[in-house]
Amino acid sequence: MRRWLERVWYQGAAGGWLLAPLGWLFGAITAARRVLYRRGWLASAHPGRPVVVVGNLTVGGSGKTPFTAWLATALTARGLQVGIVSRGHGGSATGPLEVGAGSDPATVGDEPLLLARRCPATVVVGRDRLAAARQLAPRVDVILADDGLQHYRLRRDLEFLVIDGRRRFGNGRLLPAGPLREPASRARLAALRILNGGVPAAGELPMRLAVGAVVALADGTRRPLADFAGQRLHAVAGIGDPARFFATLRAAGVQPIEHPLPDHARLRPADVAFGDGLPVLMTEKDAVKCQGFPADGLHYLEVEADFAADDANAILERVLRLVGRT
């Protein structure tokens, strides 16, 4: 079903017209919800520290988590204490619950655990992101809300919208007729629009995902991806757009045997054991879910958000002005 929907959303597959009435209904509900929050008929509140939302308009991955990790690291380098709140998709925690490097991904979710391991920031998960932000507020200078664009209960000071440069907004329709959570016109309300790959339109700042090291799960050994050029290996990706990961490997000369999985899929040892002796390379988001697995032959690929210097400064200056550090 999901594969058919994605073909409808991004490739114009037949049958999408059947979903149009549901898209209209979803749009009406979404619009009503925004009005209710704007007029105060649904309760929202501010946690008392500056809130920067990092979000997108489509379901699935757009590059929010690498951008959040980059932003948290860059702000920390500027002397700020940074907190991150997340829904914790794929985890069972209702929260608020602080995430540590050794947390169980089945409890806190894969992306929050990745952020807790990669970022010099305090990460708290919770279905109520306002409650999570309030838990963080006494300890931080700024709160980043990862994937918080539609969580209107949490009032925000800035919104950064991350757009998938390859797929953009698909057919431009609302769920389930298209991939949009809100109308594409909502993008104009964001303080900055970040384009992950592709050719930026007016007002969009280009971001690329820079490939880092391949890391062995068994002992942390780091190797360049180029070491795997010309080699067949199993590529596992449980992210919003697995095709992006596989394309990255092929561009580096790797010959991936593709194993796409649903976003936030829980992994079992059998999901990464293929019995043929070939290396297994996965995304870092998938690797955090392999705690306790037999690790021989398992690797993950590091990626980091990267910006031109002027664009990076433009992003950081917006936040630094907000917290009074300019």
134 and 266 housed in the same domain: no
Do residues 170 and 243 both lie within one domain? no
- Whether 138 and 213 map to the same domain: the answer is no
Do 96 and 11 lie in one domain? The reply is yes
Q: Which amino acid is at 39?
A: R
Same domain, 122 and 224: no
For residues 262 and 135, the model is more confident at: 135
C-alpha distance from residue 13 to each of 3, 175, 240 (Å): 11, 15, 19
> Who's near 187: CB < 8 A, 6+ residues apart?
57, 161, 163, 193
In the chain, % of residues over pLDDT 90? 80
Mean pLDDT over the full length of the chain: 93
| Whether residues 145 and 36 fall in one domain | yes
Over residues 173-188, the mean pLDDT reads 93
pLDDT in the model for residue 148: 87
Taking phi first (over 0 means left), then psi (-120 to 50 degrees means alpha), and beta for anything else, what does residue 30 get? alpha
On whether both 67 and 152 belong to a single domain, the answer is yes
Q: What CATH code is carried by the domain that includes residue 21?
A: 3.40.50
Pair (193, 53) in one structural domain: yes
Are 115 and 225 in a shared domain?
A: no
Asked if residue 58 and residue 44 are part of one domain, the reply reads: yes
Tens digits of residue pLDDT in 128-150: 999 999 999 999 999 999 988 99
Q: Taking the model in full, what pTM does it have? A: 0.94
- pLDDT band of residue 326 (cuts 50, 70, 90) is low
Task: Name the residue range of residue 24's domain.
Answer: 2-207+307-322
CA distances from 272 to 188, 236, 258 (A): 42, 7, 12
Check whether residue 299 and residue 311 sit in a common domain: no
Do 16 and 159 fall into the same domain?
A: yes
Structural domains of the chain, count: 2
Amino acid identity of residue 215, one-letter, is V
* pLDDT above 90 (res 196): yes
Share of the chain above pLDDT 70, in %: 99
Separation of alpha carbons 113 and 14, rounded Å: 39
